[in-house]
Amino acid sequence: MAGQGSGRARRAAVCLLALVGLAGPLGGCATTAAPADPASREIQRLLDRRARAVLDRDPAGYAAAFEASGAAAARREYANLADVPFASWTYRVTDVDRTGDGRAVAKADLDYRIRGHDSGPVTTSLVLDLTERDGDWRLTAERNGAGAAQQLWQQGDVEVVRGARSLVLGVGQSDARLRELAAQADRATPAVSAAWPRPWAGRVVILAPDSLDAMGRLLGAPAAGYRGIAAVTTGETGGGADRPADRVIVNPEAYGVLGAYGRQVVLTHETTHVATRAHTSASTPMWLSEGFADWAAYRGGGRTAAQTAPELRRAVQAGLVPDRLPDDDVFAFSGDGEALARAYESGWLACELIADTWGERRLADFYAAVAAHPRREGAVEKALHDVLSTTPEEFTARWRTHMTERLG
């Protein structure tokens, strides 16, 4: 039973690499140069006033951007986001289509930063319906732009819990659950720092929606693809110092069925992705990024290899020892669950082999060296040579022997 539990935790702890735009100013509600069209300039000023209302905690000012018929809905949305500690909130009008009869449809980017976490802005796109009366523009409706994910406050009242090293934002979750997530994240961050000896922010932002469907809307993707997935991490691979913080998004359904140990494994795994993001790139294979996150999550946990890698153990004991590390496509969310588990377990054992044979710091150096390569082709091979003084053939042979010794 313990082995099955650890397998569920590992299969649930997977990562999504979702690119987040970084365009826009970093502070306050300053705007770019005013658009040339008079209507565009007036709409930009309207949105500037709305942005200032967010930062000034002014619900009436936020609602004043809307026609009277939409003011009540605007006040509800403001109430939903009022507790989120925004450091900046900025709109940028990108296009205005005047439809005649005093109406227009505008496209705009919303940039925002969360205080203490985002060095650069998170960007999302909006489509705005507006009407003009005597030169005064007001919003009549707004919606997300094509392909844009929902923001958490669009799903309900956001509750905020601050941990020592974490910020948890939840909708429809109990205070106890949000505080538990903060405590687990606070325990995860020093564990990750011990496994990853390179600089990182040392803090994590967690989003806790109230359902699997809500999680899918936050990711801008069909929810069915995340059924059974306890958490995902969104962020920009290889981002610089001015990027927004990654978000760990928790699936309340899958996360809720895990025990305390499994939940901690999930949060530590996902926090590892946050820590290593700046040193993860298109050159990094999934077996390395997911294997390292699993290694960090299970490191020092006292579980046996059989408990940690039950699916791979069954394969090894049946004489089906993999002859190569798994390709990226095996890690697809919608793929074969047992094959997915074996892929994670294979990556974990490869990282354990490096840590045990060459040392934990050398494992981190290997990870960074792979990511630093300009392309996927040859990245692992060069890092094996430069960091570990070995070849792909020799490493694969060692990995297969290590696997047999640990699981046979």
Tell me which of 7 and 289 has the higher pLDDT.
289
Name the average pLDDT for the chain: 88
What pLDDT does residue 228 have?
85
What is the percent of the chain where pLDDT is above 90? 77
Domains of the chain: 11-20+149-277 (3.30.2010.30), 38-148 (3.10.450.50), 281-408 (no CATH)
pLDDT higher than threshold 90 for residue 405: yes
What pLDDT does residue 24 have?
29
CA atoms within 13 A on the CB side of 54: 27
Note the pLDDT tens digit of each residue in 12-59: 344 433 322 322 222 333 344 445 578 899 999 999 999 999 999 999
Query: Which of 25-29, 69-73, 74-78, 287-291 has the least mean pLDDT?
Result: 25-29
pTM, entire model: 0.86
Q: Quick count: other Cβ atoms within 10 Å of Cβ 359?
A: 11
Note the pLDDT tens digit of each residue in 190-228: 999 999 999 999 999 999 999 999 999 999 988 888 888
CA atoms within 13 A on the CB side of 87: 14
* Nearby residues of 343 by Cβ (< 8 Å), 6 or more positions away: 286, 287, 290, 326, 330, 331
Note the pLDDT tens digit of each residue in 294-338: 999 999 888 999 999 999 999 999 999 999 999 999 987 766 788
What pLDDT does residue 238 have?
62
CA 312, CA 288: separation in Å to the nearest integer? 17
What pLDDT does residue 241 have?
60
Note the pLDDT tens digit of each residue in 145-190: 999 999 999 999 999 999 999 999 999 999 999 999 999 999 999 9
Q: Are strands 204-208 and 166-170 parallel, antiparallel or unpaired?
A: parallel
User: pLDDT grade, residue 124 (50/70/90)?
Assistant: very high
Query: Which of 95-99, 184-188, 233-237, 246-250 has the least mean pLDDT?
Result: 233-237
Note the pLDDT tens digit of each residue in 341-364: 999 999 999 999 999 999 999 999
